[in-house]
Amino acid sequence: MLSVLVVLPLVAAAVLAAAPALPDRAARRGWVAVSGVEVALVAALWLGYEDPGPRRLAHEEQVPWIPGVGSSYHVGVDGLSLPLLALTCVVFAACAVHALREERRPRVQAALMLFLQATCLGVFAAQDLVLFFVFFDLSIVGMDFLIAGWGHGDAARSALKFFLYTFLGSLALLLGFIGLYAASEPRTFDMVALAQDPPLQDEPLVGGLVLAALLVGLAVKTPTFPFHTWLPPAHTDAPAVGSAVLAGVLLKMGTYGFVRIAMPMLPAAWRDWAWVVVAVGVVSVLHGALVALAQTDLKRMVAYTSVNHMGYVVLAVGAAGVVAGSDAEAREVAVTGAVVQMVSHGLITGALFLLAGTLHDRAGTYDLDAYGGLGTVAPRFAVLLSVGAFASLGLPGFSGFIAEFQVFAGSVATVPWTAVALLGILVTAALFLRALQRLLVGEVRGRSAGFRDLRPSEVWSVAPLLLLALVLGIVPRPLLDVVEPAAGAVVGLVGR
């Protein structure tokens, strides 16, 4: 079933691409139908999931692919990957519904989005480094075409910047993968084998260099300071569905790589360099929040909050590597919080970017000063934007609170001075409240005059994402039951 989940969008994309005579309406509805099937498939995977135990996988499938270099088609899930597979299916389904009124080449866009969905699912299902790299690189190509083909403003330049940055990052990642392969005995790209018997345990210099290559590649994709400069223009000029997928799913490939590859396969090097990772996480939290506070463009503001929120994840996984003087329970809480934060950020920020796209579609600008009183003329937009903003700033009752509470509880218990990063939450709260005030309250003015409220398809694309964030904030146990055993396994691997 896992392979069907990955391959089905690819097959649907090929069918759409090969059917130029297909009416636009059929293409849009076909995309929604396939996305619905994907949600059903991942729900079935989740319902049938049982914790496979440390260093084991559920729904595992493996067949030879390139046996000469120890590479195979190897897929499987555990508590780290299953939540991200589910997140991917939900975010792409929301985008399919949101794009039901797309007028610009809807058939081609649907095919491209389905292709992109298959690559994202492939990254989170892959258990072979070559397979992971193939899907990782193809996702860059898909997003580049999406920004350039359906974006606005200086879309071509933003797409090129996105491609160059992330492609160079992927080359660094490839260098790290080759380093792992060359040091393994017997030589293999199998991720399960490399985690069970990590190479370079007794070679700190070479292990540090391989880890540096992996960290650069994953940090660009996350993105963390100072590798984040491609993110604001990519978001600003991307279409709404592109921004939602970029923030909701693609950014998670970097943070997922930390817990899936870097930590378990290079545990000694991770412990040696954990303080650097912690410092980068703290700087990303504070830098992202402060720069977001200075923005007058809604989409750039939300983009910089992604640097802030992904900084929490980096902070937590760095703290999990500070083994000396800390207890394993606190480090497990930090890693659990990091994974929950990936899911939470994907849901909430995906919704915020879809709403920002609606704002631009209606009035042609993201400038906060161009609006006022939207709460009067567009109450549905105002309610959903307010809920999204409060969820993003970590209000109790939403998934963001559960994630950030665990990240800070685990990180501060391990590295007390990381408490300084709590200032990021305060700044984030201030910037979202200020944005809501400028957009929604006061006299109706500027571009708000004549602003048309959300259509049903726009409500049905955003509301389920926020509802899930609310449900996970109130009843997090189903998610935590899946994540916690896997987080404990990662902490155990790092502490070897």
3-state secondary structure the chain: CHHHHHHHHHHHHHHHHCCCCCCHHHHHHHHHHHHHHHHHHHHHHHHCCCCCCCCCCEEEEEEEEEHHHCEEEEEEECCCCHHHHHHHHHHHHHHHHHHHHCCCCHHHHHHHHHHHHHHHHHHHHECEHHHHHHHHHHHHHHHHHHHHHHCCCCHHHHHHHHHHHHHHHHHHHHHHHHHHHHHCCCCCCEHHHHHHCCCCCCCHHHHHHHHHHHHHHHHHHCCCCCCCCCHHHHHHHCCHHHHHHHHHHHHHHHHHHHHHHHHHHCHHHHHHHHHHHHHHHHHHHHHHHHHHHCCCEHHHHHHHHHHHHHHHHHHHHHHCCCCCCCCHHHHHHHHHHHHHHHHHHHHHHHHHHHHHHHHHHHHCCCEHHHCCCHHHHCHHHHHHHHHHHHHHCCCCCCHHHHHHHHHHHHHHHHCHHHHHHHHHHHHHHHHHHHHHHHHHCCCCCHHHCCCCCCCHHHHHHHHHHHHHHHHHHHCCHHHHHHHHHHHHHHHHHHCC
Q: Tens digit of pLDDT for each residue in 268-295?
A: 999 999 999 999 999 999 999 999 999 9
pLDDT computed for residue 44 by the predictor: 94
Low-confidence ranges of the chain (pLDDT < 70): 325
Q: Tens digit of pLDDT for each residue in 421-436?
A: 989 989 999 999 999 9
| Domain assignments of the chain as residue spans, ordered by start | 1-495
Q: Tens digit of pLDDT for each residue in 170-224?
A: 999 999 999 999 999 889 999 999 999 999 888 889 999 999 999 999 998 888 8
pLDDT computed for residue 52 by the predictor: 84
pLDDT computed for residue 363 by the predictor: 87
